Structure 1
Amino acid sequence: MHMTRKTSSWRQFLQEADDPLGQFCNENTKISKGGKLSENIDNLLPEIALKTSSAGFLATSIGKDHDIVYALAQCRGDVSTQDCSNCIHDATKQIRQRCPNQADARIWYDYCFLRYSNKSFIGEVDTSFGIFYFNVENVTDPEGFNKELGALMDRIRAQAVEPKEEGLGKGKTVLSPFMTLYALVQCTRDLSEISCAQCLAIAVNNFPNFCSNRKGCRVLYSSCYVRYELYPFFFPLDSNKTGPSKTGKVSVYP
């Protein structure tokens, strides 16, 4: 397992809100720029940009035999259609710039996720590569906080696996008159209920490894997304709340 870590100020993080949270370019899937696989990727991306925002999700493919490309795009379930569209357009442009010669590429934004590969991955849980963002500040009452966090995560994970929710769960818990805990989980919609529950369990079980007693944490996998904060981050937003002072990042490779 290989990890990279960096820490940045929250002000800088806000200024980079339009930049990806991270990307994964599989170096074991090198392709030639003028080849058929590369051409199919280029032909597929405009379709993804055009079609994803209407439903907030798209799973598709193009080509045949050794040149087939599978793709999945999904927006966070609480964002508007316009925000979804903007995010997916950015993703389709950036993914080829950042992973120009790979058949397997993934890119994460705050509002959306995009992935394509020459191997079929639809319906399969993938936690082989993960990105973890965490608040560098610790909570003052770890025992009480972790109890409330666990209860909230259990509640929204149960919500996410209900068919009508399409993999999305979100909620909040008032910890004190001055502090509220917000959390959101989401699976990609190609997963079954059992697979969604499995991915979310893996993400939450990694909290002690990367986000132990932290005021905020984000787990980004190819199949699910988990986040909690002591400030509002999902829509509709609670007003008059502020974000953390600093955030850190860890990327975990298989």
Structure 2
Amino acid sequence: MKTLVVKCFLLLALVCSCRAADSIWQLCNTNSNISASSQVSKNIDSLLATLVSKTPSKGFKTTTSSSYNNKEKVYGLAQCRGDISNTDCSTCIQDAAKKIREVCQNQSDSRILYDFCFLRYSQENFIGKLDTGAGLIYFNVANVTEIDPKKFDNELGALFDKIRSEAVLPKNKGLGKGKTKLTPFVTLNGLVQCTRDLSELDCAQCFATAVGSFMTTCHNKKGCRVLYSSCYVRYEFYPFYFPLDPAKTGPSVGRISSVHLSP
């Protein structure tokens, strides 16, 4: 698949109680000559039913679906963000399964990302393989003014070194989160997560690739999200992971523009 990076210039919402029905990104491999046959389509529906029913209990599921002779096999993965409830996970996966069939019609290589979950299926076996070939970057258009830029870089780097090292530990299931005070009145919040099919090494490599955008596309910005099929990293100047502090959230405001880049 051709590498595709999407960079969205976004004045981010001040609150993260995002509805699961609002997808962030979907990728349908329309460049591929592989389209879903009738049997593959049935296998996809069967696979999605399994992901919808099985993912919420543990927040993660991989599965396959094939016909009686093991031809036209489809591989699938679903994962919820590690800080959300089983109920929110279930809602998100249901929405993802429904929408991916609407936006990626007749495609046998598709993925969809929400703030709370990620779902993917393909006829190629992608399970356990690092994938940073396609991604999405969101960042706040406002620059950091509350702290010296060099100090901010150092604090941001230290926070993500900490939460990345936590996320790769098997007991944490790919999730790391934390915060640090930049000033008495400003707190930097960060979260990372990789898909739980990855090895510790591949998870760390995905994080390194994603966090690299903090010093380029997102440099000195007040918020940034870098999203790949294999991992997710984010920082904000407001609480966005659960449990939220309602006293520190605010209304959603913003302007969105985007540019698609390809090699």
Match of 1:246 in 2: 254
Question: Amino acid of the residue matched to residue 63 of structure 1?
Answer: S
Question: Amino acid of the residue matched to residue 60 of structure 1?
Answer: T
Maintained 8 Å contact 2:59/2:79: yes
Maintained 8 Å contact 2:5/2:134: no
Give the Cα–Cα distance (whole angstroms) in 1 for the partners of residues 209 and 244 of structure 2. 27
Match of 2:134 in 1: 129
**Unaligned regions of 5+ residues in structure 2, if any?**
none
> 2:91 pairs with 86, 105, 112, which one?
86
- Which protein has the bigger helix share? 1
Match of 1:147 in 2: 154
Q: Is the deviation greater in 68-77 or in 243-252? A: 243-252
Q: Aligned to 1:200, what secondary structure does the other structure show?
A: helix
Match of 1:57 in 2: 60
> Offset at 1:239?
3.3
User: Does the alignment pair 1:194 with 2:176?
Assistant: no
> 1:164 pairs with 157, 164, 171, which one?
171
> Offset at 1:212?
1.2
Give the Cα–Cα distance (whole angstroms) in 2 for the partners of residues 11 and 228 of structure 1. 13
Could you tell me the TM-score, scaled by structure 1's length? 0.91
Could you tell me the TM-score, scaled by structure 2's length? 0.88
> Offset at 1:208?
2.4
Match of 2:101 in 1: 96
Maintained 8 Å contact 1:53/1:81: yes
Give the Cα–Cα distance (whole angstroms) in 1 for the partners of residues 97 and 90 of structure 2. 11
Maintained 8 Å contact 1:30/1:101: no
**Unaligned regions of 5+ residues in structure 1, if any?**
none
* 1:80-115 C-alpha deviation (Å, 9 max, x unpaired): 010000000000000010101211101000000000
Maintained 8 Å contact 1:79/1:235: yes
Distance 1:57 1:42, change over 3 A: same
Maintained 8 Å contact 2:14/2:238: no
> Offset at 1:5?
4.9
Aligned length: 254
- Give the % identical residues: 55
Q: Is the deviation greater in 81-90 or in 17-26? A: 17-26
Match of 2:73 in 1: 68
